């Protein structure tokens, strides 16, 4: 995560705010270990509060250079670095200063400890703790529920009747299904993969997005349903079939009790759309709405679904294939903290 900070910045208060957040959120001071002598079973170790390393670096800007482009270059370099889930604390911070009133704060942690929702929680907590240290007025952040309580809840849930109903639903829904894959430009394997990645940006103009929003509202759908339906059209063209199963993501947070907790809650959910009988795009959009509603009514952890349906991931094992995932992220960050 990266935050552009403009205005006067007290580094001592920022450092203290980071320490405050790590004290509040135990996921950010957790390490994971694997016991190779016992089937490589993983276990976690929650550490007591400890200081967050904050690296401060001054960035020289030559005449004519763009600070925005320099910031993007810095973030690109950071994105190519790996981070172990056994380091302590699991949060790393770097401050890149262009001058005394313009800087970029980068925060890195392993995905095992922080998901997309959590990044917004992290931003809010840093802002609130920083303000409290600068003004001397205590913050009013709610006390987060420890992530380990979610782990305990999930284990209890898996023994419940609701989980049994969900198992039956997914077993029927995914019978004979296989994840949608696309051909890769070259074979890939864990031995040859690197942290390097790329982002392809595509902007939808405001007029087109307004039409998408209007169409969604007219059909009692969300914008997510419209984009999922459009993605399914492209998947049908690529796969040559109208029975498509692909992963999307749910927040995985079972109740508001966990809304202020930092941790890895996000749960991949397989959506299967059989749309051979759809005659219009509206039909496909409504089918996407139903698939999403069915998935929400039958929550089940991703590993459980995969274990129940061993043939589901068959195509994904092909080194010449890539498995697309459809995610719609609608969480704009506030700009005035």
**Same structural domain for residues 105 and 171?**
no
Map tokens 């302590």 to a residue: 88
- Taking only the tens place, the pLDDT of each residue in 312-334 is 887 666 777 788 899 988 755 54
Confidence of residue 68 (pLDDT cuts 50, 70, 90): confident
Residue 48 lies in a domain: yes
Confidence of residue 222 (pLDDT cuts 50, 70, 90): very high
Backbone angles phi, psi at 87, to 5 degrees: -75, 160
**Same structural domain for residues 47 and 172?**
no
What's the structural domain count of the chain? Answer: 2
**Same structural domain for residues 53 and 109?**
yes
- The tokens of 101 are what? 């009133």
**Same structural domain for residues 71 and 158?**
no
Average pLDDT over residues 253-274: 95
Helices in the chain by DSSP H: which ranges?
11-24, 67-79, 116-135, 147-157, 161-173, 206-218, 223-239, 281-297, 302-308
Residue 15 lies in a domain: yes
- Cα–Cα distance between 128 and 133 in angstroms, integer? 9
The whole-number pLDDT of residue 75 equals: 81
Residue 256 lies in a domain: yes
User: Does residue 175 register a pLDDT over 60?
Assistant: yes
**Same structural domain for residues 235 and 214?**
yes
**Same structural domain for residues 219 and 260?**
yes
Residue 17 lies in a domain: yes
Average pLDDT, the chain: 89
% of the chain surpassing 70 pLDDT: 93
User: Does residue 88 register a pLDDT over 60?
Assistant: yes
- Cα–Cα distance between 7 and 60 in angstroms, integer? 18
Residue 273 lies in a domain: yes
**Same structural domain for residues 63 and 154?**
no
At 107 the three-state DSSP class reads: strand
Residue 76 lies in a domain: yes
Average pLDDT over residues 172-192: 84
The domain spanning residue 268 has which CATH number? Answer: 3.30.559.30
Q: Which of 108, 135, 162 is the last residue of a domain?
A: 135
CA neighbor of 83 nearest in space, from 13, 188, 1: 1
Q: Which of 135, 161, 186 is the last residue of a domain?
A: 135
Cis peptide before 89 (omega within 30 of 0): yes
**Same structural domain for residues 179 and 128?**
no
Using only C-alpha atoms, what is the Rg of the chain? 23
Most confident of 75-79, 81-85, 178-182: 178-182
The domain spanning residue 17 has which CATH number? Answer: 3.30.559.10
Domain region containing 296: 147-194+206-322
**Same structural domain for residues 117 and 154?**
no
**306-308-313-314 Cα dihedral, nearest 10 degrees:** 160
Whether the CB-CB separation of 170 and 305 falls below 8 Å is answered with yes
**Same structural domain for residues 112 and 170?**
no
pTM for this predicted structure: 0.86
At 184 the three-state DSSP class reads: coil
- Taking only the tens place, the pLDDT of each residue in 272-309 is 999 989 999 999 999 999 999 999 999 999 999 999 99
Confidence of residue 336 (pLDDT cuts 50, 70, 90): low
Residue 336 lies in a domain: no
Lowest mean pLDDT among 19-33, 69-83, 257-271, 278-292: 69-83
- Taking only the tens place, the pLDDT of each residue in 2-34 is 889 999 999 999 999 999 999 999 999 988 877
Q: Which of 115, 135, 155 is the last residue of a domain?
A: 135
% of the chain surpassing 90 pLDDT: 64
Residue 329 lies in a domain: no
Total Cβ atoms within 10 A of residue 235 = 20
**Same structural domain for residues 254 and 116?**
no
User: Does residue 36 register a pLDDT over 80?
Assistant: no
**Same structural domain for residues 283 and 318?**
yes
Backbone angles phi, psi at 266, to 5 degrees: -55, 135
Whether the CB-CB separation of 304 and 171 falls below 8 Å is answered with no
The whole-number pLDDT of residue 334 equals: 47
């Amino acid at each position: 995560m990266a935050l552009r900070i403009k205005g006067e910045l007290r580094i001592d208060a920022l450092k203290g705010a980071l320490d405050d957040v790590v004290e509040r959120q135990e996921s950010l001071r957790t390490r994971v270990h694997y016991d190779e002598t016992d089937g490589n079973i993983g276990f976690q170790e929650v550490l007591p509060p400890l200081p967050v390393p904050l690296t401060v670096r001054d960035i020289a800007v030559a005449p004519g250079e763009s600070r925005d482009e320099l910031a993007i270059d810095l973030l690109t370099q950071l994105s190519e670095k790996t981070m172990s889930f056994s380091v302590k604390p699991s949060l790393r911070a770097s401050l890149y200063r262009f001058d005394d009133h313009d800087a970029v704060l980068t925060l890195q942690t392993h995905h095992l400890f922080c998901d997309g929702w959590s990044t917004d929680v992290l931003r809010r907590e840093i802002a609130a703790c920083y303000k409290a240290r600068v003004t001397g007025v205590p913050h009013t952040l709610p006390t987060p529920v420890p992530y380990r309580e979610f782990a305990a809840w999930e284990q209890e849930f898996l023994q419940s009747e609701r989980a049994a109903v969900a198992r039956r639903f997914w077993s029927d829904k995914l019978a004979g299904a296989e994840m949608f894959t696309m051909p890769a430009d070259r074979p890939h394997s864990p031995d040859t993969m690197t942290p390097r990645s790329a982002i392809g940006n595509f902007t939808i103009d405001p007029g087109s997005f307004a039409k998408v929003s209007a169409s969604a509202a007219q059909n009692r759908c969300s914008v997510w349903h419209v984009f999922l339906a459009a993605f399914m059209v492209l998947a049908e063209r690529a796969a040559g079939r109208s029975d498509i199963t692909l992963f999307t993501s749910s927040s995985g947070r079972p109740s508001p009790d966990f809304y202020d907790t930092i941790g890895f809650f996000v749960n991949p959910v397989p959506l299967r759309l059989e749309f051979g009988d759809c005659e219009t795009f509206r039909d496909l959009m409504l089918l996407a709405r139903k698939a999403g509603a069915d998935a929400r009514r039958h929550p089940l952890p991703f590993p459980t679904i995969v274990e129940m349906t061993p043939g589901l991931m068959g195509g994904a094992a092909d080194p010449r294939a890539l498995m697309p995932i459809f995610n719609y992220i609608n969480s704009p960050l506030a700009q005035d903290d």
